[in-house]
Structure 1
């Protein structure tokens, strides 16, 4: 019997995870990616226990390709280096079954892509429209030919053209008031053992050891949208060069990078939840479905959860003409994912507002409250994120 066909629009982490999950579920998978080739540079991505558990359910062990080294502790500091809150990763592993890890985003993409047939990946292939008037989607691409499908997974990113096309009345994206810089650096001689985020007044600086021994650095600042500097490296030095060790030493490594290796983006979130994450035989996931501020490190993790839950709810791909079970499965997918992802989106925004406080008295009060919160209580507050992934029941019939 013919296999059901899915076209995944977008080869980001969520799209690739969906492709792998559906491929292992028996579907014929095609991934269309507008970019001409896979990414070779980029930032890091944190994989919290919920994302690692989701990947485990589809037999994906990313550590084989990315490494599995984890920092000794993680927490939040003041700009003078004093810890506001700190948790050992061994304690996280004991509580959630696995510690969080951070990996280079390009390496994670390679690990996922390697689990797919080579012919499934079509780079340089932009989807221009979907014709679903006859009930069975046909995707139009710039390069051609048309691609018929039983299912379309819209994983086309934060600026999702498919989201705009099918939800024209939605308010779209909202600037959250901060811009972010990101970079990867080598610094094995610095002996950094902690994953930390340092809070100043309207500025933050994050240091994340990656599983391959490098460091993912990120920084944010409250600035008007669209403001740019001539040299991102110089601006980072100006803003954060006087902060606690090892930030100045890490900025020395940033100065050695090519200008293009320091990424800068204004941060946006979806202004309101989508009314649903499905339309007929199209499902949205990741940033296309619920773009959120990066403050909880859950954007990629929720995309992975989306992908695994979607594949779990769909019928197997081996056989059928696409007429049985798919629309009902997508309705169940919306029911399973919409409320959880929107709750994470709202929480990420609130945490960001706390970290971005600029008034000296407000920032001092924030720091006092965070320091006074017992570590066990702060850890318990992460349970719904780190221990919240569940595979829902499949729809009857």
Structure 2
């Protein structure tokens, strides 16, 4: 089988690695003209780590990550509202949640493929299906034919628009800054934290080599020019009423290490498969980052698809992939959006209510609410 993968991000490269190990002919086409480290820190849940282990690169990725055993939620004064014991995932499923630099994960996936597999500077315009295959057409006038096209070209996927033109990205209601800086004793090992307040939300987690990944979110309309131009010093002032470590982390982050984006997702769709073309990752189910499952769900897509292709004929494999992944990722997208909605409340009444009720929700219930992420792993 010749598989054409459109998009060389985490989902596309994971699919390429998994299918290459099954001896499929894999060609990855990436619109960017060069391969270079991008992004900041990301979280990989134990569910994703299990899948990466299954294709033989889990240990390499774990070695570059930092295990997180506890998630803490606080109010703006630093008072603990609740916690989630991630160590239970290790005890129950054998794998840990980690933080890792997106570039390190990307590079490990890239290094697991033969160099000729990835073609750069190739932006796919559209695909056309024929009785004996599918053809992908690129912006430079070239085309390639294969047995299957995997559309892993992100939230703004041109291929999703071809088959599902109404599935445009939707704004989540807030904008986000992300940064990397040195820890210097500000952040506890193995602990990630989020602070929720009326005027914004701030989170941080330790990473390897004494680094810390942080994010900051505030409610706004999309494309707000004021927030787009904030320096780190000005951003720290926006969070001046938060605990001391918040302003310190922002202030000592180099401006070049700070990224700013409005947050979008895609309203869940009911189909990922269109003949010989299959949607994967953000192209299929872009989610807000509130559960740390964006990369993880793309990885799960890739492994699920590869496993089905190994066991069934093409049509049956794609049918099973769609059946398994559509319902599951819908739940992730919806729950993640709900979490972000509650975390970004700004009215005095709503935030007071949240801060009084949240501490009374049993930590075990929060853990249980995440166990659906492992449903497919236990069958």
TM over 0.5: yes
Equivalent of 2:110 in 108, 113, 116: 113
Counterpart of 1:172? Answer: 168
Deviates more, 1:32-41 or 1:8-17: 32-41
Q: What SS is found at the alignment partner of 2:14?
A: helix
Which residue matches 1:333? Answer: 321
Q: Structure 2 vs 1, CA of residues 61 and 160 (structure 1 numbering), >3 Å: closer, same or farther? A: same
Q: Distance in 1 between matches of 2:225 and 2:202?
A: 18
Of the three residues 361, 371, 378, the one matched with 1:383 is 371
Mapped pair 1:158 → 2:146: no
- Corresponding residue of 1:284: 279
Instruction: List per-residue Cα deviations over 1:200-254 (Å, max 9, x = no partner).
Output: 1151101011244321111111101110332341342122133113212212212
Stretch deviating more after TM superposition (126-135 or 369-378)? 126-135
Select between 340-349 and 182-191 the one with higher mean Cα deviation: 182-191
Asked if residue 149 in structure 1 is aligned to residue 146 in structure 2, the reply is: yes
Residue of structure 1 equivalent to 2:308: 313
Matched position secondary structure for 2:260: strand
Find the residue that maps to 1:137 and give its secondary structure: strand
Of 91, 94, 97 in structure 1, the residue corresponding to residue 91 of structure 2 is 94
* Cα displacement string for residues 73-114 of structure 1 (whole angstroms, at most 9, x for unaligned residues): 322111111111124443442233222001000000000111
Mapped pair 1:35 → 2:32? yes
Q: Is the 8 A contact 1:278 1:284 kept in 2?
A: yes
Distance 1:39 1:339, change over 3 A: same
Residue matched to 2:261: 265
Moved more, 237-246 or 102-111: 237-246
The question of whether the paired residues in 1 share the 8 Å contact of 2:50 and 2:58 is answered with: no
Looking at structure 1, the residues matched to 33 and 130 of structure 2 have their Cα atoms a distance apart, in angstroms, of 30
> 2:247 maps to what in 1?
248
Looking at structure 1, the residues matched to 115 and 160 of structure 2 have their Cα atoms a distance apart, in angstroms, of 28
Which residue matches 1:321? none
Give SS of 1:263's match.
Answer: strand
Which moves more between the two structures, 343-352 or 143-152? 143-152
Q: What residue is the counterpart of 1:395 in the other structure?
A: none
Does 2:261 match 1:303?
no
Retained in 2: the 8 A contact 1:65–1:108? no
User: For structure 2, which runs of at least 5 residues remain unmatched after alignment?
Assistant: none
Question: So what's the TM-score if we normalise by structure 1?
Answer: 0.89
* Corresponding residue for residue 236 of structure 1: 235
* SS of equivalent to 1:18: helix
Does the 8 Å CA contact 1:312/1:391 hold for their aligned counterparts? no
Output the CA distance in 2 between the equivalents of 1:67 and 1:30: 27
Aligned length, in residue pairs: 376
For structure 1, list consecutive stretches of 5 or more residues without a partner in the other structure. 317-323, 393-397
Matches of 1:354 and 1:30 in 2, distance apart?
A: 42
- Go from structure 1 to structure 2 and tell me whether the alpha carbon gap of 1:302 and 1:135 turns closer, same or farther (over 3 Å shift): same
Contact 1:179 1:223 in 2 (8 A): yes
Q: Aligned pair in 2 of structure 1 residues 381, 335: CA closer, same or farther (>3 Å)?
A: same
Note if contact 1:71-1:195 (Cα within 8 Å) is conserved in structure 2.
yes
Over aligned residue pairs, what C-alpha RMSD do you find?
A: 2.0
| Between 113-122 and 187-196, the greater mean CA deviation after superposition | 187-196
Q: CA shift at 1:66, angstroms?
A: 5.2
